[in-house]
Amino acid sequence: MSKKTGGSGAVGTTEAGSTVPGAGSGVSRRRLIGGAGAAGAAGLVLGAAGGAGGYAATRGDEPAALTTIGTTVAMFHGKHQAGITTPLQARGHLVAFDLAAGAGRREAAALMRRWSAVAERLMAGEPTGDDTGVARDAGPSSLTVTFGFGRAFFTRTGLEARRPAGLDPLPAFSSDHLDAQRSDGDIWVQIGADDALVAFHALRAVQREAGATARVRWQMNGFNRTPGATARPMTARNLMGQIDGTGNPKPGESDFDQRIFVPAGGPAAHEWLAGGSYAVVRRIRMLLDDWEQLPVDRQERVIGRRKADGAPLSGGSETTEMDLDKADADGRLLIPDNAHARISSPEKNGGAAMLRRPFSYHDGISDDGTPDAGLLFVCWQADPFKGFVPVQRKLDRGDALSPFIRHESSGLFAVPGGVAAGEYVGQRLLEA
């Protein structure tokens, strides 16, 4: 697996010295980084002058080295699928497919075999057999391709007996305004990368390989801040300007795997899911025109954290534990009773936690002139009825943020564990 760092917004790395596909024959990452540090620094200064002259000054007889962002590789094989604990990527595509009429278990197995082969090559920065060349000249750029199965997949493939209880339908919530055409799906694919063309290239490859077996049910496109755009790695901000993801479980915590990944040793019918996880996917529209009319201090009381640095209103820094009982001189709670951070905290939900790994989105302007923008919310947990559901139920009963958001689509997917060399994703389910 690729080397990970805890928290959102950090940049993952491969081991130094590994050969990087697309960087030129026999060129190691150590050499690439060294070249960028020594010769590249002068090029950056010259390039800052702008214009064709600055660009030409960075050109030489040999190809310019890829940046560290372009060289970063997420491994396809491993205990878990990539794209779950992988640090947030700059670009993302979420797409759900429905199996075509008449397609069943055999066709689904062939599709997952094709998709896994394509994902393995693309994540390594290698072209596919019928490559379009869209990502030519780029390195792997932290590309991840993650696959999951929806509830209806098990009916269409005749595998109802192997469908886990974690895929039972989610309850309805009062804040839902769900579009059925943009919800659910038989197979879900999450694509992320730190380069827009690399991400799009993978999306098109997945869509082409679907062939006549599956058709796109819905697709959503998102983005995050580009790694390296800030002076130091930091938790990402959402389109409301708030730091988002501070309370995420961290891979270094002792109970992280227990909270996020399905353990081995469960019922034999569900052993295919060991090492996997459940993804809840929600398209959450932010009513930005209304939100931006609030003064910053009101926004902070809605969230329960300072906008500038994400620190709780009870004091400290972003990572300081919230003091939910702390009050001001008048006895008023510093973190209001209905603040989003209070209501969603594990302390107020019996310890329920999930790993939030979203993308922002902006789909233009709606007919009423308001921005169609918000969050492609993706959260991961070992059991959605112990993670997402209790927290969302609590938020549904009085979250101060609710008037400023609208849940417009929803999906729940069982994401199989990672695969060994020679295996494809879902093989333990489809060939058992």
Condensed to tens digits (0 to 9), the pLDDT of residues 8-43 reads 333 333 333 333 433 333 333 333 333 333 333 333
For residue 237, is pLDDT > 70? yes
For residue 94, is pLDDT > 70? yes
Q: What is the mean pLDDT of residues 230-244?
A: 94
**pLDDT the model gives residue 73:** 95
Nearest to 428 by CA among 265, 273, 276: 273
Q: What's the maximum distance between 2 C-alpha atoms anywhere in the chain?
A: 71
**pLDDT the model gives residue 13:** 38
Among candidate residues 98, 184, 195, 244, the one labeled active-site is: 244
Q: What is the mean pLDDT of residues 297-310?
A: 98
Q: What is the pTM of this model?
A: 0.85
Nearest to 300 by CA among 152, 308, 229, 244: 308
Strands 144-149 and 187-193: antiparallel
Return mean pLDDT, the chain. 87
At 3, is the secondary structure helix, strand, or coil?
A: strand
Please indicate whether residue 290 is annotated as part of the active site. Answer: no
Q: What DSSP assignment string belongs to 188-236?
A: EEEEEESSHHHHHHHHHHHHHHHTTTEEEEEEEEEE-PPTTSSSS----
User: In Å, how far from its chain's centre is CA 33?
Assistant: 27
Instruction: Measure the CA–CA gap between 366 and 61, rounded to whole angstroms.
Output: 50
Confidence of residue 141 (pLDDT cuts 50, 70, 90): very high
pLDDT, one tens digit per residue, over 355-372 is 999 999 999 999 999 999
Nearest to 66 by CA among 142, 122, 134: 142
215-240: burial string, b at 16+ Cβ within 10 Å, e else:
eebbebbbbbeebeeeeeebbbbbbb
- Given CA atoms 278, 112, 418, 92 in this order, what sign does their dihedral have? negative
Q: Residue 65: phi, psi to the nearest 5? A: -65, 145
Confidence of residue 194 (pLDDT cuts 50, 70, 90): very high
